[in-house]
Amino acid sequence: MGSLPAHAFPTTVGKDCLDESSHIDERALTKLFKSQQSHLNFFFDHIDYSQTLAFTRALLNASGTVFFTGVGKSGFVAHKISQTLVSLGIRSAFLSPVDALHGDIGILTDRDVLVLLSKSGATEELLRLVPCARAKGALLIALTSVEGNALAAVCDMTVHLPLQRELCPFNLAPVTSTAIQMVFGDTVAIALMEARNLTKEEYAANHPAGKIGKSLIFKVKDVMKKQEDVPICRESDLIMDQLVELTSKGCGCLLVIDDCYRLIGTFTDGDLRRTLRASGEAIFKLTVGKMCNRNPRIIGPEAMAVDAMKKMEAAPSPVQFLPVINDENILIGIVTLHGLVSAGL
């Protein structure tokens, strides 16, 4: 059997794939966004805050894990809300209703809360899950948008999420109901965050790979080059004898120290160029100590890495590195702008 030509497998939707009548203009698009705004405003205007408060307190007082479950688009929202809670340091997880009925329900205990998301409240998989979850002793809470639904009737608590209609012209595609679920869940998450008095440092600790987390967690000692990787020399060394040290360690400088490793000053590649222009051949007889900066910016190992970056960028002229010294003025490392950027700061 011969292979089909490449054009038989279109990778993009082009004009050939569209009906001649297919088009959308700015007016139509604007109308859709305004309609969605109106539908969301209906939710905000009709939400029952007493139900919402009871729901939020139930999650706040849960001694176990807060599980979320749902099917289809509601399942994706349930998973997202759960992940938001986890990022705030709240024990939470998504429980697949299908997998729960095939063994995963074993994770539920009588200390847990199970939140079931369903627009209609008639989702068959969730209704089958309810008696099994109840037998485990978990608190069951339904988040639904249809009044008098079956799921709300069999749960311990219910929150009605008011839905005017879906933005979909057929009132079928769940594009407004899921937006409402997301807004509701994430707003409650922030209410829990405030109730638990979560600090910025605690939040950052849960996001160590993000820029916010790194800026609040990383200290200079975490990102600096250690003593053995620092370009050093003595003040009596000739400048021309230290060119290899100046250029080989990727710092663009020499750190001038005494015999006890106390910092005396710094000599940069910029200093080298300026000295060469000013001294000419006399540079061959000049020592590093004679031309070094004896009042450089420095920083300690316990300082925050983000503060090191601010110090480098401070007026009157930015610098590319900071010697790291301890309380006894002993050189223990160097932090560079390149190193901070590489660390994600």
- Residue whose C-alpha is closest to residue 141's, from 52, 64, 74: 52
Which residues are registered as beta bridge partners of 115?
A: 68, 141
- Residue whose C-alpha is closest to residue 51's, from 157, 203, 151, 144: 157
Segments of the chain assigned to CATH 3.40.50.10490 = 31-198
Superfamily grouping for domain 220-343: CBS-domain (3.10.580.10)
pLDDT band at 19 (very low <50, low <70, confident <90, very high): low
User: CB under 8 Å to 220, separation ≥6 — which residues?
Assistant: 299, 300, 301, 302, 303, 304, 305, 308, 322, 324, 333, 335
Segments of the chain assigned to CATH 3.10.580.10 = 220-343
The pLDDT tens digits of the residues spanning 248-300 come to: 888 989 999 999 999 999 999 899 999 989 988 888 999 999 999 999 999 99
The pLDDT tens digits of the residues spanning 193-239 come to: 999 999 887 887 787 766 677 777 788 999 999 988 899 999 999 99
Asked if residues 255 and 299 have their Cβ atoms less than 8 Å apart, the reply is: no
The identity of residue 198, as a single letter, is L
pTM passes above 0.85: no
Is the domain 31-198 a CATH 3.40.50.10490 member?
A: yes
Q: Reply yes or no on whether the pLDDT at 44 is more than 90.
A: yes
Q: What 8-state DSSP symbol labels residue 238? A: B
d(CA 68, CA 83): 10
The pLDDT tens digits of the residues spanning 144-179 come to: 999 999 999 999 999 999 999 999 999 999 999 999
Asked if residues 283 and 277 have their Cβ atoms less than 8 Å apart, the reply is: no
The identity of residue 336, as a single letter, is T
